[in-house]
Amino acid sequence: MGTLLAIESSCDETSAAVLTDGQVISNVISSQLEHSKYGGVIPELASRLHQQKVVLVVREALEQSGISPADLDAVAFTRGPGLMGALLVGTCFAKAYALGLGIPLIEVNHMQAHVLANFISPQPPTFPFLCLTVSGGHTQIVLVRGPLGMEVVGESIDDAAGEAFDKAAKIMELGYPGGPKIDRLAQQGDPKRFSFPKPNIPGLNFSFSGLKTSLLYFLRDQLKQDENFLQEQMPDICASFQHRIVTYLLGRFEEAAKKFDVRELAIAGGVSANSELRAAFQKMCEKNGWRAHIPKFEFCTDNAAMIGMAAHFKFLAGEFTDQTVTPFARERFL
């Protein structure tokens, strides 16, 4: 039993949430739209914006929850992976806040938290289950034996799935972040119109860098013949490119589920907000008689509620962090 304040600052979302006994009471997210004009996240700008926003976002989360700082039992924060400067802002804030209140600190692994976002639900998964975590920085198939016992059984050897969406959007000059833009345009397009090659990587791993290159060459060749090709065919290009990513991801995920003989599957991370992925994942699970778990839309992309949910399990296990803690930018988890 406990009331936790959670802070997320690993990339371009400044977020704070309050949870009581694993129930989300408030979840405030301030997205740094300032990066869009640069076509990607600028790390130094992200750190500065976190500095400007963290106090306001925490104050707002506490106000919305109706809980006073004196009633908090612990402060949770994202330790990594992420951008070092951005992580430092959340980490330093959490350390100071916990020290001032005389309460413990709980460090959270961002990728573990994406998986545990599936527990912000009236019908959470039961263990063991398999989770496909697809974000801007990672693509992983995770075997989840318990809330704190996870094993990566497959992952991308180069770009992440979200990165493939973002880089494709950049090539097509759609702006950043590209995933939601491609998703929206794809809804009016024909996913079978163009065919992009399926990456050929053995086992349960993924590769996405070739896909981006194939789009680049495809557009270069088409534009030589018709300079209006991109403008006129944009919905079909987006639908076909997205379809390739979704079928590739789910094909591997289905293989993994059969290999590990699990009955429950979940998706997580920013790309799990994708409408085609959500629908196709449901369908795949129905076909195989598996239970499907998909976080609510606002818990797919970066948010502090998922950090709080991961911290809730650590709080129950008595896993606290001391004041000497520093962030980590890259680390395979567990």
Q: Which amino acid is at 327?
A: P
With a CB cutoff of 8 Å and minimum separation 6, the contacts of 267 are: 131, 132, 133, 134, 277, 278, 281, 293, 294, 295
Residue 264 binding target from Zn ion, ligand KG4, none, CB below 5 to 8 Å by type: none
Binding test (CB under 5 A) with Zn ion, winner from 8, 159, 276, 302: 302
CB 210 within 8 A of CB 71: no
Binding test (CB under 6 A) with ligand KG4, winner from 69, 124, 180, 210: 180
Residue list 294-313, contact with ligand KG4 (CB under 6 A): 301-302
DSSP bridge pairs for 156: 206
Residues that contact ligand KG4, how many (by CB under 6 A) = 19
Give me the least distance between CB of 17 and ligand KG4, in Å please: 15
How far is Cα 278 from Cα 300, in angstroms, rounded to an integer?
A: 11
Residue list 268-297, contact with ligand KG4 (CB under 6 A): 269-271, 273-274
Binding test (CB under 6 A) with ligand KG4, winner from 8, 159, 166, 236: 166
Q: Which two tokens stand for residue 47?
A: 């750190």
297 secondary structure, DSSP code: G
Query: What angle is formed at CA 250 by the lines to CA 274 and CA 9, rounded to 5 degrees?
Result: 45
197 secondary structure, DSSP code: P
Torsion of CA 324, 329, 331, 333, to 10 degrees: 70
Give me the least distance between CB of 263 and ligand KG4, in Å please: 26
Q: Give the per-residue contact string, 130-149, with Zn ion (x = CB under 5 A; - = no).
A: -----x--------------
The residue range among 115-123, 214-222, 266-274, 287-295 that interacts with ligand KG4, by the rule CB under 6 A, is 266-274
The residue range among 32-40, 133-141, 199-207, 311-319 that interacts with ligand KG4, by the rule CB under 6 A, is 133-141
- Contact call for residue 116 and ligand KG4 (CB under 6 A): no
- Contact call for residue 256 and ligand KG4 (CB under 6 A): no
- Contact call for residue 140 and ligand KG4 (CB under 6 A): no
| List of E strands, the chain | 3-8, 13-20, 23-31, 74-80, 105-109, 129-134, 139-146, 149-155, 264-268, 291-293
Q: Which residues bind ligand KG4 (CB under 6 A)?
A: 11, 135-137, 162, 165-166, 177-180, 183, 269-271, 273-274, 301-302
Q: Which residues bind Zn ion (CB under 5 A)?
A: 135, 302
